[in-house]
Amino acid sequence: MISFELTKDQKALQKRLHSIALDKIRPYSLEIDAGRPGKIDKRFLEIIAQENLNAFIIPEEYGGMPLKWVTLSIVMEELGFGCAGFAGIYAQTLHAVSTILIGGSTIQKKTFLPLLLNPSGAVASFCLTEEKGGSDVSSFSTTAQLGEKGYYRLNGSKTPIINAGDAEFYVVWANTGTGRKGLAEINAFIIPRDTPGMGYGGLHDKPGLRVAPTATIFLEDLKIPSSNLVGPSGSGYLLFTQTIDRGRALVGSICVGLARAATELAIEFAKERHVRGRPIASNQGIGFTLAELATELEAARLLVWKACRRMDKHMDYTALSSMAKLFASELAVRATSQGMLILGQKGCKRPSLMDKLLRDAQMSRIIEGTSQVQKMIIATQL
């Protein structure tokens, strides 16, 4: 049976996270967005710990709670409503965890996952993209050579990486062969924080998602035991495609939250702002725009929920997940662009919420694969 209604527990969770997003995340995020890029703000790590957010992504047997993708999408939407950058920090932790859950050994799960339940707040990092480009990730310059018995030596760099320098552990992709065997040589490794040979480049200054610091990680002759290899040798390609396929729907929820924030702001403003004696919302030109955005928001959320429901039911979700990410991130761009227009000069101030939403929305089209890449994936599934 198809149900579009949330359960009582899900509604309570949504309400709780909505107030965290409004009262805690949003005020800090506006301040951080306006400042210089730095490490993850300590107050955000505290929110992660106090609200036990990482428990939603870590299964019960490792200290978390039952992993349900639809429930997680509700969490993500509210975090995205509060701040897409903060939600991005959380999403990268989810991706690193997801890879370990898909392919990791019981020992790896027991060793690394509980680190994220640290009472001071913790994050993990997902390191796939390299300087040469993120759309084609079928080959890497980063190498991992089997050296002394039972150890790999990793060399190369990854960029741009969210949570670089702040993470408890890093899931890093590297080529373990000569490049001749193609996808069969791609592997993922777990690198604990402060492993000798790991360095971080300067923090990037970027137009949007400024709250989520990004930097380059460098690996210089980094020695890692082969017990930190995730999954059977040669499984790295399958690991990251599945991780990202799942992650895309969740990034879709962040975008729904972001688009909702812009739409609500525009509706509120349009009802209050009077021009020639009446609220601008009563003009068809504005009312229709708001009606379209509200309709598309519902559609985007349903796409996300459908993709997540299929994940919960272990059904194929590749195309739906990409559709959810594509539609929701494009909607975020439309909603913030229309929102800025409706707010007029009030939206053009800095710092202002609409300005931040607009810049964050632009970046949301790029992370987890650009809109073109989503279309390419969907097309192969038709």
Partner 1 sequence: MKSYELIGQKLQKAREELGMSQKDLARRLGCSQASLSNYELGKRRLYLSDLHRISKILNKPITYFLESPGENAEENTRDKDDLHNFLKQQFMREIMLEAKDLTPMQRRSVLDYIKWQKSRLSGDMA
Residues binding ligand FAD (CB under 6 A):
92, 126-129, 133-135, 160-162, 206, 209, 214, 363, 366-370, 372-373
| Best CA proximity match to 166, nearest among 41, 54, 55 | 41
Which range, of 163-171, 220-228, 233-241, 277-285, touches partner 1 by CB under 8 A?
233-241
Instruction: Please indicate whether residue 78 is annotated as part of the active site.
Output: no
Q: Strands 151-162 and 214-225: what pairing?
A: antiparallel
Q: Which is nearer to ligand FAD, 135 or 233 (CB)?
A: 135
Neighbour-count burial of 297, counting CB atoms closer than 10 A to its CB (0-12 exposed, 13-18 middle, 19+ buried) = buried
**CA 88/CA 131 separation, integer angstroms:** 20
Q: Which is nearer to ligand FAD, 102 or 366 (CB)?
A: 366
Pick the catalytic residue from 51, 296, 330, 368: 368
User: Which one of ligand FAD, partner 1, none is in contact with 218 (Cβ closer than 5 to 8 A by kind)?
Assistant: none
Q: Of ligand FAD, partner 1, none, which one does residue 134 interact with (CB within 5 to 8 Å by kind)?
A: ligand FAD
Residue placing its CB nearer to ligand FAD in the complex, 251 or 270: 251
Does 239 engage in binding with partner 1 (CB under 8 A)? yes
* Cβ contact 75:98 at 8 Å: no
Task: Please choose, from the candidates 161, 173, 166, 170, the residue with its C-alpha nearest in 3D space to the C-alpha of residue 215.
Answer: 161
Q: Which stretch binds partner 1 (CB under 8 A): 54-62, 177-185, 250-258, 285-293?
A: 177-185
Task: Choose the stretch contacting partner 1; rule: CB under 8 A; options: 1-9, 63-71, 235-243, 300-308.
Answer: 235-243
The whole-angstrom separation of Cα 198 and Cα 192 is 10
Residue 233, contacted partner among ligand FAD, partner 1, none, CB below 5-8 A by kind: partner 1
The one of partner 1, ligand FAD, none whose footprint includes residue 102, by CB under 5 to 8 A per kind, is partner 1
- Does 49 bind partner 1 (CB under 8 A)? Our answer is no
Residues 6+ apart with CB under 8 A from 375: 326
Write down the least CB distance from residue 339 to ligand FAD, Å. Answer: 21
Q: How far is CA 331 from CA 128, 176, 205, 247, in A?
A: 26, 40, 25, 18
- Residue list 87-106, contact with partner 1 (CB under 8 A): 102-103
Q: Count the Cβ atoms, other than its own, within 10 Å of residue 107.
A: 9
Q: How far is the CB of 316 from partner 1 (least distance, A)?
A: 6
Close Cβ partners of 358 (under 8 Å, ≥ 6 residues apart): 208, 262, 336, 337, 339, 340
Phi-psi sector, 163: left (phi>0), alpha (psi -120 to 50), beta: left
Distance, CA of 360 to CA of 108 (rounded, Å):
34
- For the chain, give percent helix, strand, coil, nearest 5: 55, 15, 30
Which of partner 1, ligand FAD, none does residue 133 bind to, with CB < 5 to 8 Å depending on kind? Answer: ligand FAD
Catalytic residues: 368
Chain positions contacting partner 1, by CB under 8 A: 102-103, 138, 180-184, 186, 231-235, 237-239, 241-242, 245, 316, 318, 380-382
